């Protein structure tokens, strides 16, 4: 666990951070990713989300894989090889974002890495920092997938079927089948069934992926 310096911060809290690219913080971290982040990274590399999950993630696509010495696979000599499409946690570090099931949002300021050369100040605002880091589409995507998970839990808990699996098992089934994390695989099935073209942009794909997941959850026997 990374020590927390301050928590329960909101977007107006004074905060600024200037990273000096010393590359130390891309080691020994578990970088969690959602389907949108996987799709951005896959597009960056020119491969499908299916191939990305197989080559670059662990735990059914939930975390980025690391090298044997726990360095992120995307850390090159000159820095992050996928910088333009890096995940949200990488964009926000040393800030962490939290959202609860009611949609309440707050932030924590984490203790920077030992030897981190970044300059942390109590000036500016978290809002400005989020903008500088291009975090908005990532936060919207995170909210959408979190809402989906909360709704899936509610739908599955309310399913009136003695034979139904528990919500956790249902969720694990979607995860293991790849439909939850593998956007391209899910859309291939969804579009083929409906004779629809697969959208091109990651944002359009994400919207259709969310629609498909909501539908599949509701269609559960
Ligand atoms: S350790 Fe600090 S200065 Fe170095 S790359 Fe990470 S955030 Fe930037
Ligand atoms: S994706 Fe890039 S910024 Fe994030 S941990 Fe890996 S190398 Fe570092």
Q: What is the pLDDT of residue 90?
A: 97
Check whether residue 146 and residue 129 sit in a common domain.
Answer: no
Q: What is the pLDDT along the chain (221 residues), one digit of tens a residue?
A: 889 999 999 999 999 999 998 988 999 899 999 999 999 999 999 999 999 999 999 998 999 999 999 999 999 999 999 999 999 999 999 999 999 989 999 999 999 988 999 999 999 999 999 999 999 999 999 999 999 988 877 876 776 655 555 556 666 666 666 778 999 999 999 999 999 999 999 999 999 999 999 888 877 55
> Taking a C-beta distance cutoff of 8 angstroms, is the pair 170, 149 a contact?
no
Two tokens, residue 187: 């859309």
Check whether residue 204 and residue 150 sit in a common domain.
Answer: yes
Number of domains in the chain: 2
Two tokens, residue 96: 């962490």
Task: Return the axis-axis angle of helices 136-158 and 35-45, rounded to nearest 10°.
Answer: 130
Check whether residue 114 and residue 16 sit in a common domain.
Answer: yes
Check whether residue 178 and residue 75 sit in a common domain.
Answer: no
* DSSP-H helix ranges across 66-166: 88-92, 126-132, 136-158
- Which protein residue has the closest C-alpha to ligand 1 atom 7? 19
Check whether residue 34 and residue 79 sit in a common domain.
Answer: yes
- Look at residues 89, 113, 133 and tell me which one is the last residue of a structural domain: 133
From ligand 2's centre to the CA of 152, what distance in Å? Answer: 30
> Taking a C-beta distance cutoff of 8 angstroms, is the pair 94, 109 a contact?
yes
Give pTM, 2 decimals.
0.92
Cα-Cα-Cα-Cα dihedral of 114, 64, 201, 83, to 10°?
Answer: 30
Check whether residue 60 and residue 158 sit in a common domain.
Answer: no
Q: Which residue of 22, 26, 69 sits with most ligand 2 atoms within 8 Å of its CB, as the best mutation to test the pocket?
A: 26
Distance CA 150, CA 99 (A): 12
- Which protein residue has the closest C-alpha to ligand 2 atom 1? 86
Q: Which residue of 90, 133, 135, 138 sits with most ligand 2 atoms within 8 Å of its CB, as the best mutation to test the pocket?
A: 90
Check whether residue 87 and residue 167 sit in a common domain.
Answer: no
Distance CA 51, CA 185 (A): 10
Check whether residue 113 and residue 158 sit in a common domain.
Answer: no
Check whether residue 117 and residue 143 sit in a common domain.
Answer: no
Please work out whether the CB of residue 42 comes within 6 Å of at least one atom of ligand 2: no
- Look at residues 103, 133, 163 and tell me which one is the last residue of a structural domain: 133
From ligand 2's centre to the CA of 74, what distance in Å? Answer: 6
From ligand 2's centre to the CA of 189, what distance in Å? Answer: 31
> Taking a C-beta distance cutoff of 8 angstroms, is the pair 144, 206 a contact?
yes
Check whether residue 118 and residue 147 sit in a common domain.
Answer: no
Containing structural domain, residue 102:
4-133
Check whether residue 52 and residue 108 sit in a common domain.
Answer: yes
Two tokens, residue 203: 């944002």
Write down how long the chain is.
Answer: 221
CA 74 to ligand 2: nearest atom: 7
Q: What is the pLDDT of residue 162?
A: 54
- Look at residues 106, 133, 160 and tell me which one is the last residue of a structural domain: 133
Distance CA 9, CA 15 (A): 10
């Amino acid at each position: 666990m990374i020590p927390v310096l301050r928590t329960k911060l909101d977007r107006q809290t004074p905060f600024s951070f200037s990273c000096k690219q010393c590359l130390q913080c891309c080691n020994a971290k578990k970088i969690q990713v959602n389907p949108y982040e996987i799709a951005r990274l896959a597009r960056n590399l020119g491969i499908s989300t299916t191939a990305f999950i197989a080559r670059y993630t662990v735990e059914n696509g939930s975390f980025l894989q690391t090298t044997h010495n726990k360095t992120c696979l995307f850390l090159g000599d000159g820095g992050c090889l996928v910088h333009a499409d890096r995940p949200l946690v990488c964009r926000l570090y040393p800030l962490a974002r939290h959202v609860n099931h009611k949609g309440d949002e707050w932030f924590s300021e984490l203790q920077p890495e030992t030897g981190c050369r970044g300059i942390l100040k109590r000036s500016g605002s978290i809002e400005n920092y989020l903008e500088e880091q291009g975090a908005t589409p990532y936060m919207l995507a995170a909210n959408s997938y979190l809402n989906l998970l909360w709704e899936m839990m509610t739908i599955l808990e309310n399913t009136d079927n003695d034979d139904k699996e528990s919500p956790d098992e249902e969720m694990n089934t979607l995860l293991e089948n790849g439909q939850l994390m593998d956007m391209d695989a899910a859309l291939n099935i969804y579009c083929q069934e409906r004779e629809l073209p697969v959208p091109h942009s990651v944002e359009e794909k994400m919207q259709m992926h969310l629609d498909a997941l909501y539908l599949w959850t509701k269609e559960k026997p």
